[in-house]
Structure 1
Amino acid sequence: MSWFGKRSKPTEVSDEVLLEHFRQSGDLIYLGDLFEKYMPLVFGVCLKYLGDEEVSKDAVMQIFEGLTIKVNKFEIKNFKSWLYVFTRNHCLMQIRAGYRFKFENLDDVMESAFEKHLEDGDKEGYFMSLDKCMAKLNEQQQQCVSLFYLKEKTYKQVAENTGFSMNEVKSFIQNGKRNLKICMENNGG
């Protein structure tokens, strides 16, 4: 299967072949074709973590730019899986950079867990634990806590966005904070 002459569609060429051609030639057409196969996956992951369509579109472009450097630094056995993890990590880093101060509103609830990780020099571990703990919240708590703290919505806006009553929103946020604290005290377990 030659790339010279008539050009094949990216889906007709294996990920391994596209990756190897990029590594050997440095030609972005190969990496672009490979990335194009998984762009819906990348966008979906970004949208899930970042929650904003425009921010997610920007992240997709940043991820592609990052790939041009990263794919040569790692042994990649399954590009799709590796790209998923790379995308998720990019989003988490973006959240940490942009929303770190917003999560610190939870410090009154989780200060000891944060300080423990800082003492250990493990800021990354703190945010990984926080991410794990957020995922353990029930759907309503997760939704309300994310809207309230990450998106900085008011109780009223959270209620409007979710369809929950004001009392339900307050309850989900309060219980979500409590559950986050318990989970973080158990080292994100």
Structure 2
Amino acid sequence: MESIIKIASLAGQSVKEFARRIVPIVILDDESLVIASREGDDKAFGELVKRYQQFVIRQAYGYLGDSESAKDAAQDVFIKAYEGLPYLENARIFKSWLYRIGRNHCLNLVHRRKIEDDHRVICDSTSDPNTVLKVMVREKINRLDEKDREIIIMRYYQDLKYEEIAELLDIPLSSVKIRLYRAKQALKAILEGIPDEVR
């Protein structure tokens, strides 16, 4: 990234102008795209959205449990990220910064809607048993403490590798494994309360 900035300044151009003329946008790293976005290059931010859209949707789905809500939440997350770009001090950490925005936004949504919709599905006698089970598991996951819930969602809803989780949470790989084990044990204890006829 530093070399791109140096070359652009030697050419008397902003990073945005240089990148647009010389470097195809899809091969720019996140840092270059963030800097270009700050300078007003909407295509650069569009590339960031394209690059991380599925990542954010999977994250939101892990918290919210339905596709439409996850897509809506992802749009909100990218709007917040766009508005927050001027305040991102280190453009190199865009992915983990975006993850934190997504997590906080989804937690707010979960707290707002709590479990009203889930109870409606459970109470509906015509509900599909698989739907009821998914809702009950979601409800149980929401009962975990925030750290446990977060790592379960990252691993099993976002399908992130241990290394990716360690990078996003800025913790050692061994800590990821320990936290995931403890979170699974906590979830197992909670899930034991689900009736066998629903399982």
TM-score, reference length from structure 1: 0.54
Q: Which position in structure 2 is the counterpart of 1:4?
A: 20
Distance (whole Å) between structure 1 residues aligned to residue 98 and residue 33 of structure 2: 14
The number of aligned residues is 125
CA displacement at 1:14 relative to structure 2: 0.8
Query: Given the superposition, is the C-alpha separation of residues 30 and 9 from structure 1 closer, same or farther in structure 2, using an over 3 Å criterion?
Result: closer
What's the counterpart of residue 165 of structure 1?
A: 197
Counterpart AA for 1:138 = L
CA-to-partner distance for each residue in 1:86-110, whole Å, 9 max, x for gaps? 11111111111221889xxxxxxxx
Name the aligned partner's letter for residue 92 of structure 1.
L
Equivalent residues in 2 for 1:103-182, closer than 5 Å: 130-132=145-147, 134=149, 136=183, 137-139=186-188, 141=190, 164-166=196-198
Against the structure 1 CA distance between its residues 58 and 140, is the aligned structure 2 distance closer, same or farther, given a 3 Å change threshold? farther
Moved more, 46-55 or 93-102: 93-102
The verdict on how the C-alpha distance between 1:15 and 1:131 changes in structure 2, with shifts beyond 3 A counting, is: same
What per-residue deviation string (whole Å, max 9, x for no partner) do you get for residues 64-123 of structure 1? Answer: 111111121121331111111211111111111221889xxxxxxxxxxxxxxxxxxxxx
Please report how far the alpha carbon of residue 138 of structure 1 lies from its aligned counterpart in structure 2 after TM superposition.
Answer: 2.1
Residues 139, 46 of structure 1: alpha-carbon distance in 2 compared, 3 angstrom cutoff: farther
Deviation string 1:26-59 (CA, Å, 9 cap, x unpaired) is 2322112112111111111011111110000001
CA contact 2:60–2:102 (8 Å) conserved in 1: yes
CA shift digits 1:110-157 (9 cap, x unpaired): xxxxxxxxxxxxxxxxx9x84236563224735x88xxxxxxxxx8xx
Match of 1:122 in 2: none
Q: Structure 1 33/60 Cα, relative in aligned 2: closer, same or farther at 3 Å?
A: same
1:35 to 35, 46, 49: 49
Q: Which letter maps to 1:16? A: E
Equivalent residue number for residue 79 of structure 1: 94
Question: Would you say 1:16 and 2:31 are equivalent positions?
Answer: yes
In structure 1, the residue matched to 2:161 is: none
**Structure 2 counterpart of 1:69, one-letter code:** E
**Fraction of identical pairs, as percent:** 26
- Please list, as runs of the form range in 1=range in 2, the aligned pairs for 1:82-93 lying within 5 A after superposition: 82-93=97-108
**CA distance in structure 1 between the aligned counterparts of 2:116 and 2:197, rounded to whole angstroms:** 28
1:70: which partner in 2? 84
Tell me the TM-score normalised to structure 2 length. 0.51
Query: Unpaired segments of 5 or more residues in structure 1?
Result: 103-126, 146-154, 170-189
Unaligned runs of 5+ in 2: 5-17, 118-141, 153-182
Letter in 2 for 1:79: F
Following the alignment from structure 2 to structure 1, what is the Cα–Cα distance between the partners of residues 45 and 57? 17
Pairwise CA RMSD: 3.3
